[in-house]
Structure formats: structure tokens, C-alpha cells
Structure 1
């Protein structure tokens, strides 16, 4: 059995145990490994900064400025953003965040500039970038981008993939992958979006497996994975990407809430509430003794935009809620 297959098997075993015991629990590392693992706090946030050329009335500049000021955005070790598509508003957000997070990657798929390596199916002619960027308080010693080869629906027209960074955390290397997996899109055939996600998660696993990262080093995968934690696909995701579920999931029960979130409710009034965003560890690597994900039910001061003579007021900064991962 290959090391990659062993990790996938471990992910499947972890899933079976977690479903039997608590739904989302993962394996517990040895006490010595947990003691030596840097206790990081990682924020994952789908910021819904769509291109202003296509979507001019979603307050991208206002929201980008306000996101950086929020309490949940502050005090993290790493921030992983998704849907940072709009160039000017995402650049402004990153610039404003540079004081707290001076080490940053470019946005995945926007160009090859600023990366140590580019893999996968990157194309300079693809209309939209991948929207993922990683910000860190710790030095980034290596940064790579990978563009997924598999996509359907609207995702076909973007360079979606993942960013991979190696951080120097007080002399210890920590590995972080930030990604935004295939959306369940009406342009995809029945079952196709889930199949694309499965291939994407396996691509992450293969990429990390090829790195031969020592078991004593922490490897995290964060992002909008577009898999509801309450569905059978959650188990498939853990196995495909060789991930360990969080020991606890706290805060709001949905990271994508079409009832309580003002933007999600307006955009997707007929869609169900879902739990789609994660900060998880790779199986077979060091992790804290207890790891939790917390969904922050963000609410902002009201802001208003106008479209075709009608005013629309919202009280959120994105259609997703932010999720933090931390030792607990």
C-alpha cells in the first residue's frame, strides 16, 4: 500500500470512528506530538468579492475595507481568503491587512508572478482567477499555486485551485493549503459537482504526498470546501483529501446561512442552509491534542447599494460566515 493510500485509509478509519462517537471527531495524536505542535489560530473566510465588472452593485470596496476592521479578522496566525476575485478590492483588502499579516501570497490563478512554483492547469487566458490568497503573521518560506484540472459550470471559467505555503513559526515549519472547491452549480450535470470536488480533494492529497512532509510537522487545509458537514459527502471528502475532522464544531451551525445571512438570503432565497467552510489537519501529521472549528455569526453595520433605482440594505460583509480553527 502506498503512503497516499495509507493516509486515505486512515482518513476513512477516522471517519468511521467519528461518525460512531461524535459526528465530527478525529484521531488524537500522541501527547509528545501535540506538545510540540505550534498552537495556531487560522481563519478561513469566503469574502464574496466578485468582479465589479460583472457584479457592480455588491459593495465590494466597502466590504473589503470593513472586513479588515472586524474582530474576527484580527488576532489570527493565518488568514485564508476565498472569492477574492475582484482585483482592486482584493488588493485593497490585502494592503490594509499587511500590518497584521505582512507575509502574503498573490491570488491563485491571477498570474504566475510572485509564486515559487505553479502547477496543475493554469492558463493565462482563463477569464477569472481562482480567488484564493493566504495572509500570515509568520514568514512564508515557500509559496506555490496549483490550478485544478477538473471543473464544471461557472468554475470552468476560473483558475480555481489551491495555494500552498510553508511557514516558519519560531523555527518550526508549518504547511498550509488554502482552497475553494467546486461549487454545486446549475451548469453542472447531476452528481458532477461532487465528482469534481472528489477529484480536487484527491489532487490536494497527491500534491502533499509528493512533498514527503515529515509526520512531525503540522499540515492544515482551509477553505470553502463546498461540502456540507451533515451529508455523506463529508466522509468522502475526509477520505479523498486524507483529512481529520475537527474534534468540535462550535458557534453558528451553518457557515452558509440562507435564512440569517442577509446577503445569502437575497442571493439564494430557495437554497438550504449549509455548513461548508473548514480548517482541518491532514491525517498522519502532528496536530494539537484538541482542534476545534468555530463558525462566527458575523454581523455588520447596515450598508446600502442601489441597482436600477432600488436601494438594497445588508447587515453582513459576505454571504458566508467566517470560520476559525484553533486548539481547544
Structure 2
């Protein structure tokens, strides 16, 4: 495989190849050499949302673990000055959640700060988390109450992941408040549910008591088409904070 190095965090050094066996499956995991990152001034903040579609094997088998360990290098080669990434559908945690997890790969590339995945003892983890090149000085999460029953959504802890990020460049520090979310997918009256979830997200944001002079940034898989009026309703709810 051309110009590819494999990071085996369990052994703590780089290898030329790495197979992990997870859930009885042989998985080819690759981590390319570190791309050259760039840094923008403290008053600029670039973030990205990415639904990586890393679903459980009982839902689909489509190379989800192999894909996950390749995504970080692609992001950073394409957007070398990105400050934070808001992920959705990280259900499995990477090629091998113990030895070569997605968070370990991201840390290797310089994104050493990561929020916990939104989770609940009553449901499957929500697959939502935030990673950052800069320190995360506060983190919170919220699980939506609005959901369409009798759909797969009832079994997943969908909600909001919040990270307060402190970016310091050349002695200048700025604080940014980033949310990662994943709204209702499919079902009957799904737009009504998504609007209710947007209202919950807006209410959750208010409970954080974020200073009025600080930016609040929302990122996520909203499951809306751009031409849907309900999307504007959601945006208006979030802008009301």
C-alpha cells in the first residue's frame, strides 16, 4: 500500500501493516503519515461536521471500520487548518476501540482533545462526539426526549454534544462553544419531531449560560433537505438564544 504507515497504539510504534480482529472479523486498518497542519489566528475558528456512517454490523456491513481509520487523514489533508470536528454515527469507535480507536488516531494527528460520546444506560450510544486541536475546557451532553416511537431511533441516544474550546495563538485566547447533533431520521411526522428536537437543543443551550459575547456554533446531521421550510424553523429556534 503506497506511502502508508500503520499506527499500532497498543505497541506504541509504527508498523508497516496492521490487522485487527474485532468481533471475529479481520479488519485492515491504515493510518497515513501525519499531514502538515496549519494554524489560523485565534479569532478564526474552522469546524467540520462528519457523519461517518459507522453503524453496527447487525445494521449493515459496508467497510465501516476500515473507512473510519482512513477518514482523519483525508480530513486533515483536505482541510489542514480545521480546528475542531463534530462527528456523528461513531457507533463502533474505530478499527479497534481498544488498540486503534478513532480517538487514538485523531490524537496521533494532533487532535488530542475529545469529548465523550453521548451515551445512556437506556439506549445504544448516540455516536456523537467532538474532537479538537485545542483544549476542551468544558463539556456537557443532552439526550433528546422527542422521538418517533416504533422506529429504530428509540434505541439510540441521539442528542447534543457540547464542547467549550479554548483556542490560543500567539498569546491571544478566544473561547468557542461548539455543538454536535444528529436529528430524527425517517418515521412518520419526522419534521415535527425534528422541530421539537431543535427546541430541546435551544433550551439546552440556554441552560449552559454562555456569555452573550461568545460564539455558539451548531454542527450536525439535521436530516433536512435545504428546501424544507421546517429547516428554517429549526434555524430560527437556534438563533433565538
Q: How does the TM-score come out when normalised to structure 2?
A: 0.73
Q: Is the Cα contact below 8 Å between 1:49 and 1:89 reproduced in 2?
A: no
What does residue range 5-84 of structure 1 map to in structure 2 within 5 Å? Answer: 38-55=43-60, 57-70=61-74, 71-72=77-78, 74-84=80-90
Where does residue 94 of structure 1 map in the other structure? 103
| Whole-angstrom CA distance in 2 between matches of 1:132 and 1:82 | 5
| Whole-angstrom CA distance in 1 between matches of 2:197 and 2:225 | 16
Where does residue 201 of structure 1 map in the other structure? 198
Q: Note the C-alpha offset of 1:87.
A: 3.6
* Higher relative contact order (CA closer than 8 Å, sequence separation 6+): 1
Q: Is the Cα contact below 8 Å between 2:93 and 2:102 reproduced in 1?
A: no
Q: Is the Cα contact below 8 Å between 1:84 and 1:90 reproduced in 2?
A: no
Q: Is the Cα contact below 8 Å between 2:198 and 2:237 reproduced in 1?
A: yes
Would you identify which runs of 4 or more consecutive aligned residues in structure 1 move more than 4 Å? none
Give the CA RMSD over aligned residues. Answer: 2.0
How many corresponding residue pairs?
189
Q: Is the Cα contact below 8 Å between 2:118 and 2:127 reproduced in 1?
A: yes
| Whole-angstrom CA distance in 2 between matches of 1:230 and 1:46 | 21
Q: Which runs of 5+ in 1 are unaligned?
A: 1-35, 110-122, 243-282, 285-328
| Whole-angstrom CA distance in 2 between matches of 1:62 and 1:51 | 13
- In structure 2, the CA distance between the partners of 1:215 and 1:45, relative to structure 1 (3 Å rule), is same
| Whole-angstrom CA distance in 2 between matches of 1:216 and 1:87 | 35
Where does residue 229 of structure 2 map in the other structure? 232
Q: In the alignment, is residue 147 of structure 1 matched against residue 143 of structure 2?
A: yes
- In structure 2, the CA distance between the partners of 1:234 and 1:64, relative to structure 1 (3 Å rule), is same
| Whole-angstrom CA distance in 2 between matches of 1:220 and 1:90 | 31
What does residue range 1-328 of structure 1 map to in structure 2 within 5 Å? Answer: 38-55=43-60, 57-70=61-74, 71-72=77-78, 74-89=80-95, 91=97, 92-99=101-108, 100-109=110-119, 123-126=120-123, 128-152=124-148, 153-170=151-168, 171-183=173-185, 185=186, 188-189=187-188, 192-242=189-239
| Whole-angstrom CA distance in 2 between matches of 1:69 and 1:125 | 34
Where does residue 306 of structure 1 map in the other structure? none
Q: Is the Cα contact below 8 Å between 2:195 and 2:230 reproduced in 1?
A: no
Q: Note the C-alpha offset of 1:240.
A: 2.1
Q: Which moved more, 1:46-55 or 1:196-205?
A: 46-55
Q: How does the TM-score come out when normalised to structure 1?
A: 0.54
